[in-house]
């Protein structure tokens, strides 16, 4: 090919490329605005449809109750406790939600599952095991939220009993619950005078204990709010003083079932909590295999094999809730003095014993004066 032919070919290619570029540019100048306009129209139409549909549906069609609320359990059985607190949105719908104890009119704090209590884990007993005696079972089941079954039902009459706190997530021995430690810092008649001499480190410790208590309870907004308020005020300020006035009355609302721990009998040799009857796996299997066909005497033998540590009779209220000779040294177990005073006050537990024995009971004078 001659050089002239090559130059002509290059000119033709340049003209052709220029034609393509110009044509593409003209197409994009026309197409892009139109695509944008059509897209914008589609978005506007879709939003208009959704808005009208929302208005029509929300005003004309009754909405369904969310399943987390409609399916709230009436009893804290094995299925409900396995689902966990976060499965039910209604439990956080109130400032102080309640657990489904069936006999209460509203819900209280959710009872954290105890994964290391073999009395319930074996399938023999429910998480709230006291079913007989409807007059007192609510009070007995309250104990099941913070005390292992063995404290009341294992053999041993020493006073006080050797006990230890254990973690519900690990089953290991641990320190007293954070909320009890926080309560001790703000309760008692001398609380305000103690805080007048307090330091910023003590304030931080209180805030950290409250936040840890919230985590141990599975995330309780109320405890986090209290921690935030104590953190926001300067020690000795009017706001801090006001918190010290109100919080001692508020914190006990978060005690039952929200420790993240329970008291159990302490093994003398290892110091670990005793959370099961020893070497009873085969006895439990035999019980489930024969309980429906065995006679009365045989059932008693099977039950005795399943419960080698069981005491002949469970402890009564006065075994623990007494000033002298209590089976539980509440102060040693980390309960603040103000809480210990509540435990040994005879008004409530004597009323329960009257009910349990079938005797007539009257409202305590302290309640009658309030009404």
Which residues are CB-neighbours of 305 under 8 A, at least 6 positions away? 280, 283, 286, 287
What whole-number distance in Å separates Cα of residue 274 and Cα of residue 39?
69
Cα–Cα distance measured from residue 49 to residue 41, given in angstroms and rounded to the nearest whole number: 12
Query: For the chain (length 371 residues), average pLDDT per consecutive 10?
Result: 69 74 81 88 93 83 73 68 67 53 49 81 81 76 88 90 93 94 92 90 95 86 91 92 92 80 93 92 91 90 92 85 88 91 76 70 52 40
pLDDT digits (tens, 9 = 90+) for 206-246: 999 999 998 888 778 889 999 999 999 999 899 999 999 99
Boundaries of every domain in the chain = 1-63, 73-145, 178-254
Beta-bridge partners for 342 = none
209 and 181 in contact (C-beta within 8 Å)? yes
Phi, psi of 114 (to 5 degrees): -100, 100
């Amino acid at each position: 090919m001659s050089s002239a032919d090559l130059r002509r070919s290059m000119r033709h290619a340049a003209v052709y490329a220029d034609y393509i570029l110009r044509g593409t540019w003209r197409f994009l100048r026309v197409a892009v605005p139109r695509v944008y306009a059509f897209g914008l129209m589609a978005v506007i139409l879709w939003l208009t449809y959704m808005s009208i549909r929302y208005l029509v549906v929300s005003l004309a069609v009754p909405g369904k109750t969310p399943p987390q609320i409609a399916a709230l359990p009436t009893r804290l059985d094995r299925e409900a406790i396995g689902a966990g607190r976060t499965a039910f949105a209604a439990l956080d719908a109130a400032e102080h939600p309640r657990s489904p104890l069936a006999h209460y009119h509203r819900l209280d704090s959710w009872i954290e599952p105890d994964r290391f209590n073999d009395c319930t884990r074996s399938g023999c007993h429910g998480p709230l095991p006291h079913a007989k005696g409807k007059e007192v079972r609510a009070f007995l089941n309250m104990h099941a939220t913070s005390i292992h079954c063995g404290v009341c039902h294992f053999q041993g009459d020493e006073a006080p009993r050797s006990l230890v706190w254990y973690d519900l997530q690990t089953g290991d021995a641990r320190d007293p619950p954070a909320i009890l430690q926080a309560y001790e810092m703000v309760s008692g008649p001398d609380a305000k005078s103690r805080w007048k001499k307090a330091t910023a480190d003590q304030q931080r410790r209180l805030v950290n204990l409250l936040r840890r208590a919230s985590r141990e309870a599975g995330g309780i907004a109320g405890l986090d709010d209290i921690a935030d308020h104590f953190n926001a005020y300067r020690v000795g300020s009017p706001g801090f003083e006001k918190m010290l006035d109100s919080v001692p009355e508020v914190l006990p609302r978060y005690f039952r079932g929200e420790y993240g721990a329970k008291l159990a009998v302490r093994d003398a040799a290892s110091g670990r909590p005793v959370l099961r009857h020893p070497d009873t796996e085969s006895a439990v299997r035999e019980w489930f295999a024969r309980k429906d066909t065995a006679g009365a005497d045989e059932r008693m033998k099977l039950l005795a094999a399943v419960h080698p540590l069981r005491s002949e009779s469970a402890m009564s209220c006065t075994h623990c809730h007494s000033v002298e000779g209590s089976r539980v040294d509440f102060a040693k177990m980390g309960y603040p003095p103000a809480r210990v005073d509540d435990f040994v006050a005879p008004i409530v537990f004597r009323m329960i014993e009257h009910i349990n024995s079938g005797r007539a009971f009257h409202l305590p004078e302290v309640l009658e004066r309030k009404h």
